[in-house]
Amino acid sequence: MMWRGGAGAIPRRRTYLCRMRSRSTSPADLPATSPLPAMSPHPDPGPVAIRRAKFNIGAVVRHRIYPFRGIIFDVDPVFSNTEEWWLAIPEEVRPSKDQPFYHLLAENQETEYVAYVSEQNLVPDTSGEALRHARIPELFVHDAATGTYRMRGDGAN
């Protein structure tokens, strides 16, 4: 999923501030022509607090511990990957799930790849060096004069 907007913009496809229908709603309470509501197997947790994202789409960042950098092409307001992926992170360095997670077109000295990184592990990359990831031209336009990247207008959602 890709979306546009500044820091803190909420993706159009996801609605995090809405409550699920109450579990007290039964099919008998609905009109005959109304579709059945999606019922969650878990109690309604209430609204989810959304933190403002620190980095924008197109920001060039680097990992604060590991030697890689990249460009942000998507943001999840909270962790949105598999539990298996989560548990594969060593417990002593596992970040909290209740923070923005960023999708990066990432690169290190040897290769290019896509990374999923918590906000707490990213810092702005101020090196000014151009990125070399092969997929950047598909998604971004690079302004060599300012060193910034902006989403292509033709890469619609």
Query: Is 20 a domain residue?
Result: no
Query: Residue 135 falls within a domain, yes or no?
Result: yes
Residue 44 maps to a domain: no
Query: Please, which residues bridge with residue 139 across strands?
Result: none
- What residue numbers bound the domain in which 60 lies? 51-151
Higher pLDDT, 4 or 157: 157
Q: Which residues contact residue 140 at a Cβ distance below 8 angstroms, ignoring those fewer than 6 apart?
A: 58, 71, 73, 149, 150, 151, 152
Flag whether 16 is in a domain: no
What are 124-157's pLDDT values in tens digits? 999 988 899 999 999 999 998 888 999 998 655 5
Q: How confident is the model at residue 48 (pLDDT cuts 50, 70, 90)?
A: low
Beta strands (DSSP E) in the chain are 60-63, 69-76, 101-107, 112-118, 122-124, 140-143, 148-151
Q: pTM for the complete prediction?
A: 0.67
Mean pLDDT of 14-30: 35
Query: Total structural domains in the chain?
Result: 1
131, 100 Cβ separation under 8 angstroms: no
Secondary structure class of 73 (helix, strand, coil): strand
Split at pLDDT 50, 70, 90, the class of 27 is very low
C-beta of residue 119 within 8 angstroms of C-beta of residue 54: yes
Position 114 in a domain = yes
Of 147 and 122, which is predicted with more confidence?
A: 122
